[in-house]
Structure 1
């Protein structure tokens, strides 16, 4: 979810910089993945994505009661499938689409749906004898999974930490974030010894052509995506799941119905329009070297940022970054490496044990490795800020010098 970043860091009364400023006194808030990086593209697009909604439109809770997700707008469902077919990043045939208020709500809806539907995980309703189903993810894992899993204090499921350390018999749920948040690696499930007693959720928030090579259409029973990381429109609060099992889709819908009585139709229609514009721009071009097309623009932007960041880190004796191998991307039609949404910085300076604290000394807010089930010598830093903020981040990183003796 990964894909979802909803916890902005605070630091007393110090001003935070998540928008342009030339001041060196403000904190660069790169703790959360607010995708303002794409703002410049959508400004250039102009009015093509403008949506006008009349006062008499979209008034009902209901979209189509014949579908498991009865508040899903038909236009939105259609363009979701169209966008996945365009990018080739997911199989959409024979799947039910469930819309949620971002991937955070979808994650919680899935935990509820699985533990109240799948008999191998405790039955159909969570009786008094049902033990909470452990939820695990391979470290380093998305920092919010633990809090989101345990937030409702459900008796149906509970956070159980690192999937690599999970060796108990019995039911479990494994979350696979691929590409991974925070380190950008491609992931597969790691818990295999419990056979059919486990369920796997695939958080595919970053499986889009600007972040990683699209090597094959993802074809899992449960996958979920988010509008915020695919196009940058985090403020619309839209995500969707592709689910094979109708019973799980219906239970997810019930969870969302009880927690928010559906999902905003206004947001669905706006998202549908923006995604439709992306698809229409590609319609006349089989291969897409036009920088006016969204995914080309976004990939070149991310590639440029990673190039600049690696140049700064290469001159540093303090930090290191992961290396990503090149793979053939079906969408771009060429070999390319990954350009993740976050930099997984490692502080290699002797005597410095906490990378997050070191960055804070230079007024850079990142998120420390311990929150990801990893070592505090790591910190996650967002690459998704506006250009002015990213440039100031590079300038501050450049001046962090270690012990040269």
Structure 2
């Protein structure tokens, strides 16, 4: 292949304006890099507007059902085929002999996963008496605690850092890889010496070649993906789970049916079309077609690489901040060694104990505090997928702080 709740759960993508204008921001305005929107990729899809246009007639999609032979009977066959084709192209997940369940974004699928795994526990402890503990290694995605506890379920409860888990009770561990917020590659971290029964959810939202090298084909029992982070179409609210156990897949489907009676077919149709456009472009290139538009993953990776290089250059001149470093790895998709360019920058502030407060006070930049990720408030998460003018203004304000420090 080619080279949050403020009191609501953070849904990875709280609505930013979708236009990526070049208008400069006045220094008095606030630059919001807290949200997880993916509008960086809008520039690519503007170029592909005609190829991705979907026309839906008034009489289409009247029924709840799409394919009653499938476990996930509200998923269209076209979307199922597109998901399998996309994973086959990238080589990042095994779909053979597995069941695909779709949801309204990976947030709904996360809830469905907790329901399915906790209600299927074989632990001798009754779930009605002792809920399953839900854990993730810190720094963990800030939405997990509130998304776990918001429904006040008797089946499961948030129990914090997987590295500190020491109960002889059933648990569900969330393994996010690459990790949100720090971009690290993760594996299960619970030390199971206590003997509690453990189940895993692998959140692979960012395991795509524009963020990280594809080093292997993931083949876990329950894997979560999202259209938002793959192509940037957060507003379509499409996520999917790849599930080994048919009974778990059925329970997840039941949860989504009870919660929202399925997933919009209009969104499914759009997602299937866009995935098809991505796959077709690579196949056409492979067979000698001269593409007038850069291939999607190459285009997206180039933009992210440029942003990371600019940010690292500014940080290198500063005594106030530190960024994590990532090892190079061989990518099976691009057939070359490459670096990781995460969707978020995990910024550590050396000068001030509270990085978020420092950014807000000194630069009027909003970021997400490390304490929301179960971590030290000296850390802050910065969205690297934001609008171009916001990111450029952020870099300018970082440079201005550095220049001001040098003069003092």
TM-score normalised by structure 2 residue count: 0.92
Which residue number corresponds to residue 313 of structure 1?
315
Between the aligned partners of 2:354 and 2:124, the Cα distance in structure 1 is 39
Q: Contact 1:8–1:31 (CA<8 Å) still a contact in 2?
A: no
Say yes or no: does 1:90 pair with 2:93.
yes
Summarize deviations over 1:176-214 as a string: whole Å, max 9, x none: 000000000000001141568110100000000000000
Q: Against the structure 1 CA distance between its residues 95 and 4, is the aligned structure 2 distance closer, same or farther, given a 3 Å change threshold?
A: farther
Q: What secondary structure sits across from 1:32 in the alignment?
A: coil
Q: Return 5+ residue gaps in structure 1 as ranges.
A: 10-14
Provide closer, same or farther for how the CA distance between residues 147 and 19 of structure 1 changes in structure 2, counting only shifts above 3 A. farther
Equivalent positions of 1:5-404 (< 5 A) are: 5-7=12-14, 21-22=23-24, 23-120=26-123, 126=127, 128=128, 130-193=129-192, 197-286=197-286, 292-349=294-351, 352-361=352-361, 362-401=363-402
Cα root mean square deviation, aligned: 2.3
Deviation at 1:7, TM superposition (A): 4.9
- Provide the residue aligned with 1:12 in structure 2: none
Distance 1:21 1:160 in 2: 45
Task: String of CA shifts for 1:238-293, please: whole Å, max 9, x gaps.
Answer: 00000001011110011111110000010000000000000000003449997610
Contact 1:121 1:172 in 2 (8 A): no
1:287 and 1:369, CA in 2 relative to 1: closer, same or farther beyond 3 A? farther
1:8 is displaced (CA, Å) by 6.8
TM-score normalized by the length of structure 1: 0.92
| Cα distance between partner residues in 1 of 2:233 and 2:330 | 28
How far 1:399 moved relative to its partner?
1.6
Rounded Cα–Cα distance in structure 2 between residues aligned with 1:83 and 1:121: 41
Contact 1:368 1:380 in 2 (8 A): yes
Question: Residues of 2 paired with 1:381 and 1:152: CA distance?
Answer: 29
Task: Report deviation, 1:387.
Answer: 1.4
Per the alignment, in what secondary structure is the counterpart of residue 161 of structure 1? strand
Question: Could you tell me how far apart the structure 1 residues matched to 2:373 and 2:59 are?
Answer: 46
Counterparts in 2 of 1:271 and 1:122: CA distance versus 1, 3 Å = farther
* Residues 111-134 of structure 1, C-alpha deviations (whole Å, 9 max, x = no match): 0011112323856xx4x4x31110
Q: Partners in 2 of 1:47 and 1:25 — Cα distance?
A: 39
Question: What secondary structure does 1:379 align onto?
Answer: strand
Q: When the two structures are aligned, how many residues end up with a matched partner?
A: 393
Match of 1:120, SS state, is: coil
**What is the rounded CA distance, in whole Å, between the counterparts of 2:68 and 2:285 in structure 1?**
37
Distance 1:3 1:333 in 2: 35
